[in-house]
Amino acid sequence: GDVWLSPSPFGKAHPFGYFGGGYNPNVLSTVDRLDYSSDTGTMVTKGPLSVARYGAGSASNASFGYIAGGATPNTSIVDRINYSSDTSTALQRGPLTSAKSYVNGVGNVNFGYISGGDLTTVDRIDYSNDTATASPKGPLTEHRQYIGAVGNQDFGYFAGGGNPKISTVERIDYANDTATASPKGPLSEVKSSAGATG
């Protein structure tokens, strides 16, 4: 007959979050791990990243986290954090199409998308072939640093940014990611360096 497991293993979320890199006032390679079930304690140091940096973007799936780009100076390096072995130094994977910093990322279970910085390029990381150079996809309509990003399984949204600050929101359609991002929104006011969640 049927075998029932409680709780179901298919609905279980990964129990940790990871913060990589930063500036304090030196450039950092540290990876800190947040335990969602015990979030009042000091985070546990993991990693580190292969290269110290700040202003990087990130994307993830159920098994790996990717920290991409950043300023050290500007780099195209993509580091992969293995959730099942997070004490190891992050492994370098296929680079972005070019060096960029002050970027952000979104993604779904198959791909991660990194954009922002001084370019309009959207770089797609293929999780099933992450040693390859990221693929350039449909661009944003304008370049911007300090961009915010959030998404779901179907769309990614890049919002705001600086130089000069703007309120534009652009949407990437994962099912048609060669097209130029579609303008949406906008935000209620111009802003840069905003966090995002959803």
Q: Measured between alpha carbons, how far is residue 30 from residues 11, 33, 47, 122, 162 in Å?
A: 30, 10, 7, 26, 27
> How far apart, in whole angstroms, are the C-alpha atoms of residue 170 and residue 34?
30
pLDDT at 14: 76
Q: Which residues pair with 112 in a beta bridge?
A: 107, 125
pLDDT at 45: 96
Exposed e or buried b per residue across 57-89, where buried means at least 16 C-beta atoms within 10 angstroms of its C-beta: bbbbbeebbbbbbbbbebbbbbbbbebeebeee
Q: How far is CA 87 from CA 51, 125, 137, 183, in A?
A: 15, 23, 33, 41
> Which of these, 22, 19, 18, 14, lies nearest to 51 by C-alpha position?
22
pLDDT at 11: 54
Which tens digits make up the pLDDT trace of 59-107? 999 999 999 999 988 999 999 999 999 999 999 999 999 999 999 999 9
pTM of the model: 0.91
Give the pLDDT confidence score for residue 1 in this predicted structure: 44
* Residues in the chain, pLDDT under 70: 1-13
